Structure 1
Amino acid sequence: MELTKRTAVAVHETWNLTDLFSSIMEWENALQEVEQEAKKLHLFNEKVAERPEHLLNVLQARENLLEKVVPVMTYASLSLSSDGTNSDSQANASRVHALQAIVQAELAKIEAELMALPISLIEQFQQDLPELDQFNAYLDQLLRDKPYALSAETEEVLASLTPVLNAPSLTYAASKSADMTFPSFKGADGEDHSLSFARFEDQYELSPNKEERKNAFSTFDNTLKQYENTYAKLYATEVTKQVTLAKLRGYDSVEGMLLHPQKVTKTMYHNQLDTIYSELAPHMQRFAKLKKEVLGLDTFNFFDLKAPLDPEFEPETTYDQAFDTIIQALAPLGNDYAQMLHHAKDDRWVDRADNIGKATGAFCASPYGYHPYILLTWKDTMRGAFILAHELGHAGHFYLANANQPLNATRPSTYFIEAPSTMNELFLGNYLLKTTEDPRMKRWVILQFIGTYYHNFVTHLLEGEFQRRVYTMAEEGRPLTATLLRKTKQEVLSGFWGDAVEIDERAGRTWMRQPHYYMGLYPYTYSAGLTAATKAYTLYEEKGQPVLDSWLEMLKSGGTKEPLELFKLAGVDMEQKKTIQDAVAYVGSLISDLETSYR
């Protein structure tokens, strides 16, 4: 089966970028307008300390500029994500990165002026002029950052170097989407099959045929291996950048710097990693051993972890059918939420095509002032419904936050981000359990739940543990070579899976698959979000609709509160270690139910 070119994809399978700009010419004009306005931004800095109205003018100018920047950057980013091989999209992405550097440099000038103001003066201005309340989220963050700010000149230089500082991430993304190609491999039918990042992760890694999984993984790894030293150098550069910036800014550690914008303490961070890594491991080892037994495998390898337990039972569904099921499952969230879902389905908010150059995995972009955009690769299986529900959780979150908060107050901590998405998965799974009497289907749903926890509590949690070890080694001055990174990943995997899974150097190279490593301490937050969602859904089952009313108000709050306070709006206390332990115990109960179904 040949991979499809983007130009051959049916329009209804793609997202509608004309909702951002009707033409490339309109986008060009908007880009030039943003650049011109950015260069005028410093004019608002004059006499900012003299009157609260002057401060208001500066903040309004900043907000207005960012509102124009968002669609320009989103359009270029989404175009590149849909086809990374398109030279025009590559060029436009480079242009917006250059624009970003200009904007960041101008914003740095403003922030330097604002950080120079005495805290008492800002607080007095806030009391004197109520209109400043709309910028409280930004001003609060500014004051939190003040102790770690460098001189105005240095901040401006760093901002102007944004494209350079982002080079490791951008190079990694370009390499994956545009340069990395895979040879074909022998499928279960003995025929040659085309391979890509998306097809490996969305299809062949989940194949019911061991030989097909093995051949696909071997071919996939052989290609990764060719890039191992290059990717190690890119990641080492990214880590070195973060360690250096942490020292320059006066943080006690790189962890301290990366957790600072999340408004998360080191205790919260380490509790999340330590509790799940140690307490979930025995449950997941039981799961691996059950798979080995049920599938009749002599050895259980890393590439067997996502093999379907009931390979002959894979509920098929069309995209439209899956979307309708999701809408029904999420009905408890109310009419406004349902209306948003209908718009997402009918108005092409989702790009579901499978084409050459398309970004791997799934994500949701939510540009302020516009509707969200979702990327995934659809395969006509019910598993895809869980992925779609997850991304619609992100869409619903920012659809509500963007509608109820100013731009500067829409984004909560990344510690919070994965709660709305995983909550939707819990709704979908429980809806399916309640609407079927088929024992096999019920078992399949339990497996999907386990898949959700596997993704967030295993895949991303182990990435978080890998990151923690890498940053520690970097701060100790150890060179981050390809060999060290591979062995560290192997050690993380072996420590979690024990003797239940064969972990070899090919498994160790899987660190190369994840772009999240270029996003700070992001991977561990998946487990935090699902921990909170698990607790919230449990509360909903106990107390009913009032919990969901609070949940929706929490989503509308955007970034107006710190993550712990946001979760408390929905009755979830993430400071308690027991909240994490209860979620881990729930996963254990799912695996026990699965074991019972096979005995």
Structure 2
Amino acid sequence: MPTHTSRSEVPANEKWNLEDIYSDISKWEADFHEIEKIAVKLKEFDGAIQDGQTLFQFLKTKEELSYKFNHVYAYCMLKVDEDTRDTSSQSLLDQAKSLSVKVSAATSFFMPFLLGLDEEKLKGYITEVEGLKYFEEDLLESYRYKAHVLSKEQEELLSQLGESLSVPSNTFGMINNADIKFGEVTDENGEKVELTRGMYAKLIEDEDREKRREAYKAYYKPYIASKNTIATTLSGAIKNNVTLAKIRHYPSALEKALFGDKVPKEVYENLITATKENIAPLHKYSQIRKEKLQLDELRQYDLSVPLVKGVKPEISYEEAYEKMLKGLAPLGEEYIGMLKEFKESRYIDVRETPGKRSGAYNLGIYGVHPYILLNHRDDLDSLFTLAHECGHGVHSKLSAKHQPQITARYSIFVAEVASTVNEVLLINYLLNNESDPEVRKHLLNHFIDQFKGTFFTQVMFAEFEMKTHELAEKGVPLNVEVFNRIYADLFREYNGDEVVFDDEVKFGWSRIPHFYRPFYVYKYATGFASAIHLATKILEGNKATLESYLEFLKSGSSDYPLELLKKTGVDLTSPAPIENSLKRFAELVEEFSRI
């Protein structure tokens, strides 16, 4: 695996090309100033929208601003993520964040104005002015929010608080990405070296248990040292969610989070209930793990090590890309053609370098193309991450190609479907094309672990969020002890009694960035369940499913997420998709225990 001590060492074809957004910084600055001017222009519409024509002018100008602003913001966000230590990029991002507050303040009058407008009058405007047809669905959708929008003055005040409300999340981001220094571990020469996230991901899967234990202790050390600070940031984020839900007259923070997607609370609750009713195979898997590793006690640092010894295929980035293209062939030629373009046209930033943002993501930019951040490590996990993020990327690209700007962005709720369909197709391809029984076992083990991480762990996180928000809603103070207790209880419930607790287990909550995006993680699990259903049908050669799935990828947010999924044959208002995917998990565990 190539290790790079600096970004300049990475070959150009493995770095994304941000010049597709702005060929130089002066163009970024020109757009920045243009947005400032447009924001002033938008403010002038306050109190001046008296007819359909003016309404159309306002909406058209606002969309033009939004197009430019997305480019300005995305550019500096991607710059920062290349190296979070770079102060000049950080300064651009700070400017963009301040600009975002200005824009939001300039347009905050609109929602209260719109909802004060008689619905029949609005429909009249839409009939009179041809251009308003484009905005019709959005305008009428706004009436759904009527009970949750405040007066003009209050909305303006809230928009001014935007930056302050994001302080808990930004603070945790800084602690987690810039400040945290992990403890030391012993390298292969017996020397002490400082642990990095990339090393941790490798060491926690090491066959040497002492190495795993050492890495685990070193990894948690800074989180435990900062436990009170992190508990304060998390508690702050949760209280902000609860307060905003109250201010906006939602029954709860959970219902506020689900409102935009029009997802009933029952979908969230069903997910947790159905998972806990079918948790036995996961507990059985913990037992298999303990037996297979021949341990007297199973601990948390034993939960990620592959159970098939001596099989750790090294897969270069080039090879990973080829395998992905072969694995996703059932999705058709257009799909594969797009993936080739991703690589050739440098949409992807491949390597881990000092200061680069950890993890992986896809960012679709309307009018440009998707950008994908990886920290590729030439292993099986990295191959799956590549397929996962490319699923998001194709979804972004197809939606942008087939939808106008107003409906091109898909909801997070459906986002995980495209990424997971890719992973399921890939594992199927790898299993079918592998004759070595040990490698097959390793792949099966990998899929079970991935199922556990994307489904069960996320449902556990979703329940943690639900419980902590409910306490905050009752006015119960949230602190380290409360977070520890809830997290430890849930960890035990999901992983079974086989796992013996180290002190670190209960601090698991302190390192999860997703908790700063309220009620987000459950979408991984519903997306995963939907994807298992779709991929199974596609692999059975079901043409109708394949066609409806490709249509789904082109749909952006042209309908509510549950409706878009229903068109592919997945109905999440019933527990069936969840139960079916849990049945699939039980089969995988059964097959694995047999072989």
Question: Structure 1 residues 189, 469: CA separation in 2 closer, same or farther (over 3 Å shift)?
Answer: farther
Deviation at 1:49, TM superposition (A): 4.2
Q: Which residue of 2 aligns with 1:143?
A: 143
Deviations 1:35-65 (A, max 9, x none): 22122113345653422x3322222111111
Query: Who is 1:98 aligned against?
Result: 98
Hey, what does 2:64 align to over in structure 1?
64
1:444 aligns to 2:442 (yes or no): yes
Q: Structure 1 runs of 4+ off > 6 angstroms? A: none
Match of 1:548 in 2: 546
Task: State the distance in 1 between where 2:108 and 2:114 align.
Answer: 10
Name the aligned partner's letter for residue 149 of structure 2. Answer: A
Q: Does 1:366 align with 2:383?
A: no
Confirm whether residue 196 of structure 1 aligns to residue 201 of structure 2: no
Instruction: In structure 2, list runs of 5 or more residues that go unmatched.
Output: none
User: Residues 525-561 of structure 1, C-alpha deviation per residue, up to 9 Å, x if partnerless?
Assistant: 1000011111112222345222111111111111011
Q: Specify whether residues 504 and 369 from structure 1 end up closer, same or farther in structure 2 by C-alpha distance, changes over 3 A only.
A: same
SS at 1:399's partner residue? helix
Q: Count the aligned residue pairs.
A: 594
SS in 2 for 1:29: helix
In the other structure, the counterpart of 1:559 is 557
Q: Specify the SS of the correspondent of 2:356.
A: coil
The CA distance in 1 between the partners of 2:238 and 2:491, in whole Å, is 21
User: One-letter code of the match for 1:397?
Assistant: H
Question: TM-score, normalised on structure 2?
Answer: 0.96
Deviates more, 1:586-595 or 1:132-141: 132-141
Structure 2 vs 1, CA of residues 199 and 350 (structure 1 numbering), >3 Å: closer, same or farther? farther
Is the counterpart of residue 248 in structure 1 residue 247 in structure 2? yes
Q: How far apart are residue 363 of structure 1 and its match?
A: 0.9
Cα distance in 2, alignment partners of residues 503 and 411 from structure 1: 42
Shift of 1:203: 1.9
Q: CA deviation at 1:148?
A: 0.3
TM alignment of 1:169-318, pairs within 5 A: 169-187=169-187, 190-200=190-200, 202-279=201-278, 281-318=279-316
2:375 alignment partner, SS class: coil
Shift of 1:81: 1.6
Alpha-carbon distance in structure 1 between the residues aligned to 2:231 and 2:168: 10
Cα 1:141–1:235, aligned 2, differ >3 Å: closer, same or farther?
farther
Q: Is the 8 A contact 2:306 2:446 kept in 1?
A: no
Distance 1:524 1:410, change over 3 A: same
Superposed displacement of residue 309, structure 1: 1.0
Partner of 1:19 in structure 2? 20
Q: TM-score, normalised by structure 1?
A: 0.95
Aligned ranges 1:486-497 → 2 under 5 Å: 486-497=484-495
Instruction: State the partner residue of 1:454.
Output: 452
SS in structure 2 opposite 1:499? coil
Moved more, 117-126 or 352-361: 117-126
Contact 1:188 1:211 in 2 (8 A): no
Equivalent pair of 2:420/2:531 in contact (CA under 8 Å): yes
RMSD of aligned Cα (Å): 1.9
Alpha-carbon distance between aligned partners in 2 of 1:136 and 1:579, rounded to the nearest angstrom: 33
Structure 1 Cα separation of the partners of residues 438 and 136 of structure 2: 52
* Equivalent residue letter for 2:19: T
SS in 2 for 1:376: strand
Question: 1:304 & 1:580 partners in 2: Cα distance?
Answer: 28
Q: Which moved more, 1:436-445 or 1:509-518?
A: 436-445
CA distance in structure 1 between the partners assigned to 2:68 and 2:449 by the alignment: 39
**How far apart in 2 are the matches of 1:513 and 1:126?**
49
Give identity over the alignment, percent. Answer: 31
In the other structure, the counterpart of 2:123 is: 123
- Give the structure 2 partner of residue 395 of structure 1: 393
Q: State the partner residue of 1:29.
A: 30
Q: Deviations over 1:153-202 (max 9, x none)?
A: 111121122111111111111222211112321246633333123432x3
Offset at residue 400 of structure 1 (A)? 0.7
C-alpha contact 1:44 1:61 (8 A) present in aligned 2: no
Residues 29 and 302 (structure 1), Cα distance of their counterparts in 2 relative to 1, 3 Å cut: same
Moved more, 292-301 or 264-273: 292-301
Q: Is the 8 A contact 1:5 1:356 kept in 2?
A: yes
Write the distance in 1 (CA, Å) between the matches of 2:351 and 2:446.
23
Flag the 1:509–1:239 CA change in 2: closer, same or farther, 3 A: same
SS of alignment partner, residue 362 of structure 2:
strand
Quick one: structure 1 residues 140 and 538, their matched pair in 2 at CA, closer, same or farther if it must change by over 3 Å? farther
Structure 2 contact 411–556 (Cα < 8 Å) conserved = no
- Structure 2 Cα separation of the partners of residues 521 and 196 of structure 1: 29
1:193 match: secondary structure: strand
Q: Which runs of 5+ in 1 are unaligned?
A: none
Q: Paired residue for 1:516?
A: 514
Deviation at 1:250, TM superposition (A): 0.8
CA distance in 1, matches of 2:425, 2:124: 46
- Contact preservation (8 Å) 2:51, 2:125: no
1:527 paired residue number:
525
Deviates more, 1:253-262 or 1:183-192: 183-192
Segment of structure 1 superposing worse, 88-97 or 588-597: 88-97
Which of 431, 434, 437 is the matching residue for 1:433?
431
Opposite residue 100 of structure 1, the aligned amino acid is: S
The structural deviation recorded for 1:277 is 3.3
Q: Is the 8 A contact 2:330 2:538 kept in 1?
A: no
> How many angstroms apart in 2 are the aligned matches of 1:81 and 1:38?
27
Helix, strand or coil for the counterpart of 2:108? helix
SS of residue matched to 1:203? helix
For residues 295-342 of structure 1, the C-alpha deviation after alignment (integer angstroms, 9 at most, x for no partner) is 122211112111111131012211011111111222222222222101
